[in-house]
Amino acid sequence: MTERDPNCLFCRIVVGEIPSDRLLEDDRVVVFRDVNPQAPTHVLAIPRAHIGSLADLDDDDGELLAALFGALRRVAEDGGITDYRVISNVGAGAGQSVFHLHIHLLAGRPMSWPPG
Ligand code: 5GP
Ligand code: ZN
């Protein structure tokens, strides 16, 4: 983990170099709307620190994970959203395109399974 990678898109969003539509933030995480939404509600929860993906977490990163999922739960509660899907793509083969850990929350339309 590094605090910030100047070439990373989401690190630039964290510091405000790239604007984002933020719903919630605290000292560890930021939640903002996805620029290319795949559902009526599509938000991303990210750590402020630069972490490439879930694969780069350590066994003692439980508090950060709780902060990320807790932030998404609050966004859902605040929006009256009861049915939603959370996803984190790990690796290009699984669909990861931004290599700064992010958890998607999608809601507002029927969801099929399995995902494509
Ligand atoms: P991934 O494909 O890595 O799982 O998800 C990356 C997500 O970031 C995509 O859903 C994409 O639409 C979103 N994204 C990419 N660039 C930007 C941006 O500049 N601003 C915002 N808000 N979302 C972005
Ligand atoms: Zn980053």
CA of 99 to the centre of ligand 2 (A): 7
What ligand has the least distance to the C-alpha of 12? 2
Q: Atom 13 in ligand 1: which residue has the minimum CA distance?
A: 34
Q: Does residue 1 carry a pLDDT above 70?
A: no
Catalytic residue status for 102: yes
Residue 116 has a pLDDT of 84
pLDDT by residue (tens digit) across 73-87?
A: 999 999 999 999 999
Find the helix or strand (DSSP H, E) in which 10 lies. Answer: helix 9-14
Amino acid (1-letter code) at residue 53? S
**Angstrom distance (rounded) from CA 89 to CA 87:** 6
pLDDT by residue (tens digit) across 9-57?
A: 999 999 999 999 999 999 999 999 999 999 999 999 999 999 999 999 9
Ligand 1 atom nearest the C-alpha of 42 is 10
Residue 47 has a pLDDT of 98
Helix (H, G, I), strand (E, B) or coil at 51: coil
